[in-house]
Amino acid sequence: MKTRLIAATLFLLGGIFTVSEGQKVSFGGQVSSMEFVKPGSYWHLLTALRYIPEIKWNTPVGKAWKFDLEASVNAYGQVGVQKHDTLYTDVYLKPYRVWGRIASERFELRLGLQKISFGSATMLRPLMWFDHMDPRDPLQITNGVYAALGRYFFQNNANIWLWGILPGKTVKGWEMLTTDRHLPEFGGRFQIPAGKGELAFSGHFRYIGIDQSRGFFPVSLDKPFPEYRFGLDGKWDIGPGIWFEGTYTYQNLPQSNINHIRMLTIGADYTIGLGNGLTFTTEQFLYQTGPALFESTSDLDFTAVSLTYPINLSLSVSGIVFYNWTANNWYRFINWRISLKKISLHVIAFWNPDSFDLYQNTGNSNLMGGKGIQLLFVWNH
């Protein structure tokens, strides 16, 4: 239903602008193939193939405006074997991006299935409100949201965002409870220059729905309940780059231990003049929930460190280490990447606990549990 509605809207918008001179159409896409092996007592073998074809069309509208269309689908199939005797398959074809945009030099309005992502943090992101981007994923695959997004850029580099989102069937970002299917979400963001960096405030409002069969908690609600989110983030370049990102979420649920959710990340990065340049990034993350504003019944405390080194123009190596201070667990990832024009090959090794306390909504948490190797082939055309 949503796809048909967006497609019809884009067709009508495109029909308004009948300018033929200067219009451009391009077709591309990304093919990726993954081989995944996890030995040991939790033996697991997986083969997967994904294709995301993409078509883009744009045309000028007068001298100061342009109109863009983008459409792509996510075609995915996998075959896996667990513990030598359990065979499973999964195949799906679904819209990935379907949006239209009218834009000028300082303003844009985008309507359709799109990615909405913002914030200063890179690995541990409290402002991961609408996407599921995982720093361990070289492809950065994430589902979009059906939304209207307007942005205006001022001359002093300040900018303002306003959005409205149609509710989906599943949770987004850090959400544990799904949105009411009959009520839209809306919010905004205001970003301003601040010395050698920038500072931004974000807010969002939605109603939590009665049906929570697709959420993380099988609760039963007698009516929709409001949820308010507030975010503050900033980033500065003072030699090393430094940033912070914090959020507070209030859910007006009856007798709940997750009514108040607080998240904070503090991070920094720096490139050391060693060889071709070794980039060091670190973030400290704190997650707390409780029945009252200053009361905590659940805590999650993570430190992340990332190192990236380009050996030459074609070969690079990177690694990420997470430490869970709450459970005293280490999570380790290393990625060797070979790039040749439009083709890249990733050899990824990991050594983790059997369950991962972060990125539960990305779909890769269980796959990355334990020890294993992943081979990833990517062709962009």
Q: Which two tokens stand for residue 225?
A: 């309940």
Cα separation, 61 vs 19, whole angstroms: 7
Q: 15 in helix, strand or coil?
A: helix
| Mean local confidence (pLDDT), 136-145 | 92
**Would you state the structure tokens that stand for residue 158, as one six-digit string?**
């300040």
Q: What's the rounded Cα separation, in Å, for the pair 243 and 305? A: 15
User: What share of the chain in percent tops pLDDT 90?
Assistant: 68
pLDDT digits (tens, 9 = 90+) for 98-136: 999 999 999 999 999 999 999 999 999 999 999 988 888
Confidence band, pLDDT 50/70/90 cuts, at residue 7: low
Between CA 52 and CA 140 the distance in angstroms is 13
pLDDT at 17 over 70: no
Q: How far apart are CA 267 and CA 333, in angstroms?
A: 19
DSSP string computed for 262-326: EEEEEEEEEEE-STT-EEEEEEEEEEEEESSTT--SEEEEEEEEEEEEE-SSSEEEEEEEEEETT
How many C-alpha atoms does 331 have within 13 Å on its Cβ side? 24
Q: Which helix (H) or strand (E) holds 3?
A: helix 2-16
Per-residue DSSP letter, 6: H
Rounded Cα distance, 284 and 268, in Å: 9
Q: What is the mean pLDDT of residues 264-268?
A: 98
Rounded CA separation 148/162 (Å): 8
- As a whole number, the mean pLDDT across the chain is 89
Q: How many CA atoms lie within 13 A of 276 on its CB side?
A: 10
Q: Per DSSP, what are the bridge partners of residue 56?
A: 26, 70
Annotated domain spans of the chain: 115-329
Give pLDDT tens digits for 27-48.
Answer: 999 999 999 998 876 678 899 9
- End-to-end CA distance of the chain, in Å? 31
- Give the tens place of pLDDT for each residue, 318-376: 999 999 998 899 999 999 999 998 999 999 999 988 777 776 655 555 677 788 999 99
Q: Does domain 115-329 have CATH number 2.40.50.140?
A: no
pLDDT in tens, 210-255: 888 777 776 778 889 999 999 999 999 999 999 999 999 999 888 7
pTM for this prediction: 0.89
Token pair 């001179």 is found at 21
Q: Are 197 and 237 in contact (CB under 8 A)?
A: yes
Q: Is 356 helix (H, G, I), strand (E, B) or coil?
A: coil
* pLDDT class of 301 with cuts at 50, 70, 90: very high
